[in-house]
């Protein structure tokens, strides 16, 4: 699913989520620019039923709109921090000042998350460009540090079975 999210053009999933603020409806995902937590949590949620282990556990319990709530749910479902980057790991990058849109207007320090796919590359939602998932260098060419690498024990079982 992660690899397929960047194949064949634009992916219009996970681009919009509406909320009411001061009596006005707003798109809090800003057409995909704030969708990294949604992107990661939906993929994990959709994969709950795809592995044998799902009969006894899950990758994540719910889908989420934020990095914070996604990481919280992941850790409650067996994900733990590691220092080793392996394909399938979820990466959380350090907070950065939001300089545009809804988050910029609110002076938010935004964290970012995505999946490590190997060869020093990650796939995450493109917050500063198209708003679509994209493949990029794992540290954005040494411009954004990794804050957390999250791993689930069932990923070892999945790798061993291949």
Domain ranges of the chain: 3-160
The two structure tokens encoding residue 160:
């061993």
- Cα-based angle 35, 123, 133 (whole degrees, multiple of 5): 45
The two structure tokens encoding residue 62:
């719910």
Class of 3-160 in CATH: alpha beta
Residue 161 neighbours by CB distance under 10 Å:
8
Could you report the average pLDDT of every consecutive run of 10 residues in the chain (162 residues)? 81 87 91 90 88 70 94 96 96 82 66 95 87 92 94 76 52
**Cα gap 124→116, rounded to integer Å:** 9
Distances (CA, A) of 158 to 52, 153, 154: 9, 9, 6
Q: Determine the pLDDT at residue 106.
A: 62
Q: Determine the pLDDT at residue 52.
A: 60
What are the CB-based long-range contacts (under 8 Å, 24+) for 54-61? 57/154, 59/152, 59/154
pTM: 0.88
């Amino acid at each position: 699913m992660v690899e397929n999210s960047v194949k064949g053009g634009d992916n219009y999933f996970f681009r919009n989520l509406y909320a009411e603020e001061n009596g006005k409806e707003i798109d809090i995902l800003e057409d995909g620019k704030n969708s990294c937590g949604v992107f990661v949590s939906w993929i994990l949620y959709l994969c709950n039923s795809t592995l044998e282990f799902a009969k006894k556990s899950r990758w994540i319990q719910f889908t989420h709109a934020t990095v914070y709530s996604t990481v919280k749910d992941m850790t409650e479902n067996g994900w733990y921090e590691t220092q080793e980057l392996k394909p399938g790991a979820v990466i959380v990058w350090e907070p950065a000042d939001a300089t545009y849109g809804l988050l910029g207007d609110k002076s938010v320090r935004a964290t970012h998350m995505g999946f490590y796919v190997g060869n020093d590359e990650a796939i995450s939602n493109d917050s500063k460009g198209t708003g679509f998932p994209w493949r990029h260098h794992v540290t954005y060419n040494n411009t954004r540090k990794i804050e957390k690498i999250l791993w689930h024990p069932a990923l070892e079982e999945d790798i061993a079975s291949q």
